[in-house]
Structure 1
């Protein structure tokens, strides 16, 4: 299965690649983080700025990563090493691998929470609870070390269970089943939310831009959200791109990925805010919006129990499709560079990441007084290191490599498929990749660091 023997797996077609890439991009960031960041930054105005930032920042990095992977048929380290031999550029690949390992280590903590909430929703555990009751229930859950580690372990076992079956039989088949199902559940939830009495304010909140609420912080938040919501910077799209046939056109593929991942984020907002406004809650509840406010909303809605089951199953499966892509990055590095077989590599990487994630899970209970970077908890320290340092740095290296070392003419040539179609307005994209996107990433980098000090 190693790439150097010509037997590297490929997606069955562009459709499988697109669904898997959307699954990677559509995770907790789209359904958990996007709604509460939108709620904290004024709604519709933030959404409009976010879409612009996706086009100027997220899309160019996505293009560069997929083309780099597809042209080399290698993992992030191997791809940069092949295109720039005997240079230090390959270190950017290691940054992506380290980022994916760290992110999945603490991501699995929250992934375990989503599974627990799905179970509670199925058991009707939120029925008739007030928001204070749900807050107490959540606090009791995360303060129990044994319970939270068990749910984290279950989430990692699900992730490893998909990856161990390989590309087409595991990752592609799972995404072909889950992504249409997630889309259907989102549509049902949106219809249910927008038909609630008083939901109009929530619809207006997310779709109508109130420019009076926009500040420089809003713009910085939109830049950061655009970067992180497309799953770039951690080597996942280089890895997924390495399985894409060279006959496929990359521009048409990334257009679909950007479009549908953005639509999922907007649909998540339309599924949440009309219901929140309908029952008189505030939209700016922050990270607690999903795990405390929403269960209370569902508890008071007509047929709210069914809505809760649909939503938390949706959230847990979105977390799973992202975690699969994160595990695939170090796994493919071991397969490509060290010829480790699939089963051994999956058990080794998944088991190691689970062990690394235990301190993050315990940072909400018995390790809550243990501090790391800037006095943060272990969970928040790892989140800070990955999200504010490694991801922007990994993305910056790839975009500089594409724009200056490899060269945009080569990138655009490699992006074409058998139909010969490339990006429209190519001089515009050359300017964006070489100048605008690197400056925007540096802006995100600086804002994330300074705002955390």
Structure 2
């Protein structure tokens, strides 16, 4: 159907670099730009980064390979992929599709805030050094009615226009623009931040580990950050993997994608923390880093407006590269399973997700008094269900299905293209996906439910 090319075969990535950039774009999102610097700031800087790298290899690479292999083997969407392994496992893919659907509904609201702040930067409205004034400005935006919904709509339109173009003409082509642009901007911003007077303390804080800071909370936070940063457990990598040709080098891609994602997170840390230290702000300021702290930093920086414009374009690129993968998970399912035309599926799903995002947006303003889960409005409820339940559960079941049901021998056979490729770490990976992955994700799952 509509996920087929002109010769009647399933669409495929046009190039290896196209897949790598699109998959890395799926992983690189708002979490890299505000959450990683915030988590590093909260957990002792270099100590957190060291633990993060260890867990990235043990868990991130393990699940990344498992998802891509499953997608390439089945050549199907997330639900179809699990069903091919065993009919009763289709529900695991359904968890991923539902997670992508829910996440995009509130992620798009935040993407809209980013567009709004880009507009504010271009009009000079953010040229303010007082963090309290900036905090009030941010509060006024998100508690509004029409303005945040308007920008939420703009973000969804940009997302569905890219996905509308298909794999080669839409997602791959846009990723080849978004990702290199993102890299250039974040490197420029990191260099600017690191050359500010007093920035050296921020650099040392991020890169020099203080082993006394490492405790169970740091390990658990790093584990959670790796898991959520890489877009694991929601079927994104299964869906993207399903468009890979049978001669692709999956083990190489499964290493490259997490490294790119982590490289961007580290550069974000180098762009944010030195500047925050240089101007005496709090390094663990949370989501306010993007919308409150950083605008105050830019306002005090020479040529600050120029760098601020660059920063919000960067954040927008990161948000879009993730949102297109979230929408593609849902579109691939509807196209494959319901045999719907791709354009109809994309427009319909984008519209429904936009509608679902309206109460998420209003939950900061007129609908703030409405709660679904105890103490949680629409936005926080959607976030909790997807991030704390669906994603960890999806990741846990992925390890069980690939490690125990389908079997690591079959997975390795697919990963090595029937033994044609060398995969030196295959036995170690098999051990990780069968034993380490389920235990680590189980811990994240229990902690996220309690948290």
Answer yes or no: is the 8 Å Cα contact 1:95–1:390 preserved in 2: yes
Map 1:223-238 to 2 at 5 A: 223-238=223-238
Please report the RMSD computed on the Cα atoms of aligned residues, expressed in angstroms.
Answer: 1.4
Partner residue, 1:16: 18
The number of equivalent residue pairs is 449
Which moves more between the two structures, 208-217 or 257-266? 208-217
Paired position in structure 1 for 2:131? 131
User: Do 2:128 and 2:134's aligned partners in 1 also have CA atoms closer than 8 Å?
Assistant: no
How big is each residue's C-alpha offset from its partner over 1:185-212, in whole Å with a ceiling of 9 and x where there is no partner?
A: 0110011011111100010111011223
**Alpha carbons 1:3, 1:73 under 8 Å: kept:** no
Say whether 1:307 aligns with 2:307.
yes
- Say which of 43, 48, 51 aligns to 1:49: 51
5+ residue gaps, structure 1, are: none
Which aligned pairs between 1:324-339 and structure 2 lie closer than 5 A? 324-339=324-339
Distance 1:3 1:106, change over 3 A: closer
Say if 1:39 and 1:286, in contact at 8 Å, map to a contact too.
no
Give the structure 2 partner of residue 71 of structure 1: 73
3-state SS of paired residue (1:375): coil
Structure 2 matches for 1:335-350, cutoff 5 A?
335-350=335-350
Give SS of 1:247's match. Answer: coil
Q: Is the 8 A contact 1:249 1:419 kept in 2?
A: no
SS at match of 1:374: coil
| Structure 2 partner of 1:353 | 353
CA distance in 1, matches of 2:119, 2:63: 37
**Counterparts of 1:161-172 in structure 2 under 5 Å?**
161-172=161-172
Contact 1:369 1:377 in 2 (8 A): yes
* Correspondence for 1:428: 428
Q: Which SS does the other structure have where 1:74 is aligned?
A: coil
Residues 19-69 of structure 1 show CA distances to partners (whole Å, capped at 9, x for unaligned) of 000000000111121111111111110111111111111211111110000
What corresponds to 2:389 in structure 1? 389
Q: Which moved more, 1:223-232 or 1:124-133?
A: 124-133
Which of 24, 31, 34 aligns to 2:33? It is 31
- List, as ranges, runs of 4+ consecutive aligned residues in structure 1 with deviation greater than 3 Å: 1-6
Q: Which whole-Å CA distance do the structure 2 matches of 1:228 and 1:313 have between them?
A: 23
Distance in 2 (alpha carbons) for counterparts of 1:169 and 1:426? 34
- Name the stretch that deviates more: 282-291 or 159-168: 282-291
TM normalised by structure 1 equals 0.97
Give the Cα separation in 1 of the matches to 2:414 and 2:366. 51
Q: Distance in 2 between matches of 1:428 and 1:247?
A: 23
Secondary structure of the residue aligned to 2:245 is coil
